[in-house]
Structure 1
Amino acid sequence: MERLQKVIAHAGIASRRKAEQLIAEGHVKVNGQIVKEQGVKVSPSDKVEVDSIPVEREQPVYFLLYKPRGVLSAVSDDKGRPVVTDYFSEVEQRVYPVGRLDYDTSGLLIMTNDGDFANLLMHPKSEVEKVYVTKVKGIPSKEALRKLQKGVKLEDGKTAPAKTKVLSTDKKKQTAIIEIIIHEGRNHQVRRMMEAVGHPVLKLKRERYASLTLQGLTAGEGRELTAHEVKQLRAIASKKK
């Protein structure tokens, strides 16, 4: 049994919030009867219609993608640029990215058609850990790293404390490779954090998301998540809320 608004959202008709609005306004029928009550659960055998159009059920699917640089974390682009859904053209379900990675950022991205799962992972209180490796201009001092670890002030507020580690430095080129671990998901967050401490990002990659890694994949490759991995992600996100 699944909640009615979830079934509508999974079918790609509307977001879950919009689906709730459609239900409240009397646009939705279950087995020929208008349903306006929120939270109603339906079984696979129930006939669901939105404005008299049958809802085609989609099975939830979960994928991991190693997003290359120069690809948008979007389902389409009016400028014709590559998007992450290009890598899932053979998947019948309409998948979309959980959160986003910047156009010039590579690394681990989850793709799904499960709105509840996506919302759980992206909820601020879930505090899902994300590990980035970044090449930056200049060699950060201990003080700069300490600022990142305490949280830095950005235009949209102070960041939560981050974990940082210097992986390598190149004194000749005056660059450094830094590992930074955060659990927030603000736009361009790592880039803005490094800029704030005086070390602009030259290259950025997300190497881990919660318990998931890019092991065995090269840029542009993906794989389906196992049932255990999905269960593990739900547990990690739910534990923090």
Structure 2
Amino acid sequence: MENNLERLQKVIAQSGIASRRKAEQLILEGKVKVNGKVITTLGTKVSKEDRIEVNGIPVEKEQPVYYVMYKPRGVISSVKDDRNRKTVIDLFGEEVTERIFPIGRLDYDTSGLLLLTNDGEFANLIMHPKYKIDKVYIAKVKGIPTKQDLSLLKKGVRSGKDFLKAVHVKLKGINRKSNTAILEITLHEGKNRHIRRMMDELGFPVLKLKRERYGFLDLKGLNPGEYRPLNPKEVKQLRHLAIKNVK
């Protein structure tokens, strides 16, 4: 019987209601019931026969789905927004009925590749910085960084309580007339406004930012606001990439 039990937060995440981290928060806040009883202990295990409710809504496991989207600027990387701004979920058609959510986030003014799913375990695997999946950005900045500046980005800079660093940085082009530069920046983690804050600390404010690649995935064939489902091979490759990197 023990082999048929799964952690409560994992079951909630697999239902598409929330990521595993959010599911843990919901449990701690007393918003989850199992067979009518409020559960506040992380690690509680449940079976397929148990009746689970989150905020009074029964949990039903959905078939996992996975999408890649070309997020436009001026859209929130969230399921909903308390200021009623357009979210990435608003860009999906009615044919997508699953309760999907973005894996990580791109800032309001940042465009580019965003993954969405209803699979909380997959989201946690792909998003965690320890799995070292390359996230490649193209940034247009004010000013022209030197080799020393680019080296500092890889060493890391302090911004408030955070230590922000890039894995790779490449100068792609400069325009002395407009005093701007184009950089290719690779991250493994993505803290809030990571690249913008990092560049601000060095005195090169970001004018435009786009995520062009996530692991082996790119935006080929997609226009801003468009999306497509990942095929089973791509999902498998992403899982393999994350697991391989942590070994």
List gaps (5 residues or longer) in structure 1. none
Which residue number in structure 1 is paired with residue 154 of structure 2?
149
- Deviation sequence 1:143-163 (CA, Å, 0-9, x none): 111111222222223334431
Q: Report whether the alignment pairs 1:50 with 2:57.
A: no
Which residue number in structure 2 is paired with residue 95 of structure 1?
100
Residues in 1 aligned to 2:227 and 2:32: alpha-carbon distance in whole angstroms: 40
Identity in percent: 50
Judged with a 3 Å threshold, the aligned counterparts in structure 2 of structure 1 residues 229 and 188 are, in CA distance, closer, same or farther, namely: same
List gaps (5 residues or longer) in structure 2. none
Q: Tell me if the contact between 1:149 and 1:161 (Cα under 8 Å) persists in the aligned partners.
A: yes
Q: Tell me if the contact between 1:208 and 1:214 (Cα under 8 Å) persists in the aligned partners.
A: yes
Q: Tell me if the contact between 1:60 and 1:113 (Cα under 8 Å) persists in the aligned partners.
A: yes
Which of 101, 104, 113 matches 2:109?
A: 104
Which of 76, 79, 85 matches 1:81?
A: 85
Q: Tell me if the contact between 2:165 and 2:198 (Cα under 8 Å) persists in the aligned partners.
A: no
Which residue number in structure 1 is paired with residue 178 of structure 2?
173
Residues in 2 aligned to 1:177 and 1:202: alpha-carbon distance in whole angstroms: 10
Which of 124, 133, 140 matches 1:128?
A: 133
Judged with a 3 Å threshold, the aligned counterparts in structure 2 of structure 1 residues 154 and 194 are, in CA distance, closer, same or farther, namely: same
- Secondary structure in structure 2 of the residue aligned to 1:148: helix
Which residue number in structure 2 is paired with residue 3 of structure 1?
6
Cα-Cα RMSD: 2.8
- Secondary structure in structure 1 of the residue aligned to 2:204: coil
Q: Tell me if the contact between 1:9 and 1:19 (Cα under 8 Å) persists in the aligned partners.
A: no
- Deviation sequence 1:33-73 (CA, Å, 0-9, x none): x9x9834453xxx4644399753321111000100000000
Q: Tell me if the contact between 1:166 and 1:176 (Cα under 8 Å) persists in the aligned partners.
A: yes
- Give the number of aligned pairs: 233
Which of 168, 176, 181 matches 1:163?
A: 168
**TM-score in terms of structure 1 length:** 0.85
Which residue number in structure 2 is paired with residue 59 of structure 1?
63
- Deviation sequence 1:211-238 (CA, Å, 0-9, x none): 2111111100100011111111112222
**TM-score in terms of structure 2 length:** 0.83
Which of 225, 232, 237 matches 2:230?
A: 225
Which residue number in structure 1 is paired with residue 215 of structure 2?
210
Deviation for aligned residue 1:126: 1.6
